[in-house]
Amino acid sequence: MAAEIGPRPRDRTVIMCHGAFDIVHPGHLRHLMYAKEKADILIASITTDEYITKAEHRPFVPQELRAGSLAVLEMVDYVVIDPNPTPIQNIRRLQPDYFAKGYEYFANGVPPKTQEEMDTLAEYGGEMVFTPGDVVYSSSALIEASPPQLGLEKLVALLESEGLRFKDLRQVLKNLAGVRVHILGDTIVDSYSYCSLLGATAKSPTFSVKHDSTERFSGGGAIVAKHMRSAGASVTFSTVLGNDELRGFVEFDLAQCGIDCLPVIDATRPTTHKERFISDGYKLLQVDRVDNGVISDKVLERLAEQLESTPADLVVFSDFRHGIFNRQTIRTLKKAIPANAMKAADSQVSNRWGNILDFVDFDLLTPNEREARFALGDQDSMVRPLASELFRRAHCKHLILKLGERGLIAYRS
Confidence of residue 136 (pLDDT cuts 50, 70, 90): very low
| Mean pLDDT confidence for 357-371 | 94
Q: Do 155 and 232 share a domain, yes or no?
A: no
Confidence of residue 135 (pLDDT cuts 50, 70, 90): very low
Q: Do 150 and 238 share a domain, yes or no?
A: no
Q: Do 156 and 180 share a domain, yes or no?
A: no
Give the structural domain span for 318: 176-188+223-270+294-354
Q: Which DSSP letter does residue 406 get? A: G
Supply the CATH number for residue 265's domain.
3.40.1190.20
- The count of other CB atoms within 10 Å of the CB of residue 384 is 16
Question: Which residue blocks in 193-336 are alpha helix, DSSP H?
Answer: 221-230, 245-256, 297-309, 327-335
Q: Do 240 and 332 share a domain, yes or no?
A: yes
Q: Do 183 and 99 share a domain, yes or no?
A: no
Question: Kind and range of the H or E element at 95?
Answer: none
Q: For residue 176, what are the contacts with CB-CB under 8 A and spacing of at least 6? A: 228, 231, 232, 233
The confidence score (pLDDT) of residue 195 equals 96
* Domain assignment present for 201: no
| Mean pLDDT confidence for 297-304 | 98
* Domain assignment present for 196: no
Q: Do 182 and 140 share a domain, yes or no?
A: no
Q: Do 133 and 183 share a domain, yes or no?
A: no
| Mean pLDDT confidence for 135-160 | 61
| pLDDT exceeds cutoff 80 at 118 | yes
* CA angle 366–371–374, rounded 5-degree value: 145
**Which range (109-113, 176-180, 184-188) has the least confidence?**
109-113
Q: Do 247 and 124 share a domain, yes or no?
A: no
More confident: 137 or 15 = 15
Supply the CATH number for residue 40's domain.
3.40.50.620
| pLDDT exceeds cutoff 70 at 350 | no
CB 369 within 8 A of CB 407: no
The DSSP bridge partners found for residue 374 are none
Q: Do 75 and 129 share a domain, yes or no?
A: yes
User: Measuring CA to CA, how many Å separate 117 from each of 1, 35, 239?
Assistant: 20, 17, 60
The confidence score (pLDDT) of residue 154 equals 73
The confidence score (pLDDT) of residue 319 equals 94
More confident: 107 or 313 = 313
The confidence score (pLDDT) of residue 201 equals 77
- Phi, psi (deg, nearest 5) at residue 37: -65, -20
| Listed residues 306, 321, 354: the one ending a domain | 354
CB 13 within 8 A of CB 98: yes
pTM of the model: 0.68
Domain count, the chain: 2
Q: Report the DSSP pairing between strands 41-47 and 14-19.
A: parallel
* Domain assignment present for 29: yes
Q: For residue 244, what are the contacts with CB-CB under 8 A and spacing of at least 6? A: 270, 271
* Domain assignment present for 322: yes
* Domain assignment present for 35: yes
Q: Do 182 and 125 share a domain, yes or no?
A: no
Q: Do 23 and 136 share a domain, yes or no?
A: yes
Mean pLDDT of the chain: 89
The confidence score (pLDDT) of residue 134 equals 46
